[in-house]
Amino acid sequence: MTNAIIVINAGSTSLKFGAYAVSSADSPPLLCHGEIEGMEDDPRFAVSNASGKQWDTHAWGKDRPIDHKTALQFVITWLEANIAGLKVAAAGHRIVLGGSRFAAPVRIDDDVLSYLDSLVVMEPSHQPYNVRGARALQEAFPGLPQVACFDTSFHRTMPEVAQTYALPKDVRDAGVRHWGYHGISYDYISRQVPKFAPKARRVIAAHLGGGASMCAMLDGKSVETSMGFAGMSGLPMATRSGDLPPGALFYLLRSKLFDPASLEKMLYERAGLAGLSGISDDMRVLQDSKDKEAVAAIEYFVHAMTKFTGAYAAVLGGLDAFVFTAGIGEHSAPVRAALCAKLAWLGIKLDSPANGANGPRISTADSPVSVWVIPTNEELMIAQHTHALIFPQIEASVSQRKSSHD
């Protein structure tokens, strides 16, 4: 029998998953990954094998919605029916916000879920659905061990001054602080950097995807990051605004142009690259466009990264390596080239052919700061954390599940 860990990223109308074999290796091997999307109106399932080749699909049909519990029951049943001898023995979840209680992955129980539910008011765009996925799995498979891995945990190593806003104590005590996000990705990248640049202590990583942020790391630990209290601040993103002056938000509310709900929706769904360009939130579309607004949107994106890089180099006391990761970071040679040109003052020398080939090293051999393209793997990071936390208890748990189903 092959014991497996299922990694789950639950969204509002979608559920992404990956299955990893439990083994004695440091890195659990991937068995397959897939997604159920359109859960509210047209649910569709697709799964690919470890090589990325499509394995199977399923459709429930239009106007036949399914909930998270039904989706998870389908996925786990499919895994155990289609991979010979496989038994799902543990689950790992991506949860965006761990709050002040959790600076590391944690075994999920009712108390943990109640606390995570209490944080929904801070981060309503992802947190409720991440937690809903864990609750649904608990209901469907009560004996299955579950682990929560948090995007905020990696940043709890930031100095207290970097986690604090200049607000009264009662406001800070209410949870308004610099949480930081994309921490699962940065956790993975921090473990990869020594394989590429073993002498690099002062590193800036840029996770550039639909959501975008940057992180300053010293000796593999986060000391600053661009996303702050929630997932809107810092860099401009696909549809999210990035940093804005608070006075502008008060103005929009006072002017009755928006109410709080419509303002939040605009800042999360109509701003960023989409709002700047008026064309698309997809960097590939913007790069192919000759429209001046598309060009201006990319320039703004690069300008924002330039500012954060300068600030983070100062925080780190210099810079040894810069890492690009995630969708734009891994695949957009023009964006990488534009930023590296802005950072020539740091000594960065771009290797244009290597950049065009997406790395991994895209700086010249004599560049004082090495620059890298390192693909992220948040799913694997969650599998590793789940493996480390649950593995000693897996055999007993699987036996208990088997007995309960007999």
Cite the active site residues. Answer: 151
Backbone angles phi, psi at 215, to 5 degrees: -140, 130
For 286-385, list the strands marked E by DSSP: 321-325, 370-373
Amino acid at 21: A
What one-character-per-residue DSSP string does 79-133 give? HHHHSTTEEEEEEEEEES--TTT-SS-EE--HHHHHHHHHTTTT-TTTHHHHHHH
- What are the tokens at 168? 């009264």
With residue 223 as reference, give the H or E element that holds it: strand 221-225
Q: Tell me how far apart the alpha carbons of residues 200 and 339 are, in angstroms, rounded to a whole number.
A: 20
- Coil, helix or strand at residue 170: helix
Distance CA 142, CA 136 (A): 10
* Closest residue by Cα to residue 309 from 343, 267, 277: 343
Per DSSP, what are the bridge partners of residue 15?
A: 10, 36
Return the closest-CA partner of residue 150 out of 185, 174, 191, 189.
185
CA distances from 104 to 107, 111, 121, 207, 336 (A): 10, 16, 21, 20, 32
Q: What is the DSSP pairing of strand 321-325 with strand 202-208?
A: parallel
Q: What's the rounded Cα separation, in Å, for the pair 222 and 204?
A: 10
- Exposed, middle or buried by CB within 10 Å (0-12, 13-18, 19+), for 8? buried
- 334-341 long-range contacts, CB within 8 A, separation 24+: 334/287, 334/298, 335/208, 335/283, 335/287, 335/298, 335/301, 335/302, 336/362, 336/371, 336/373, 338/298, 338/299, 338/302, 339/206, 339/302, 339/305, 339/306, 339/309, 340/371
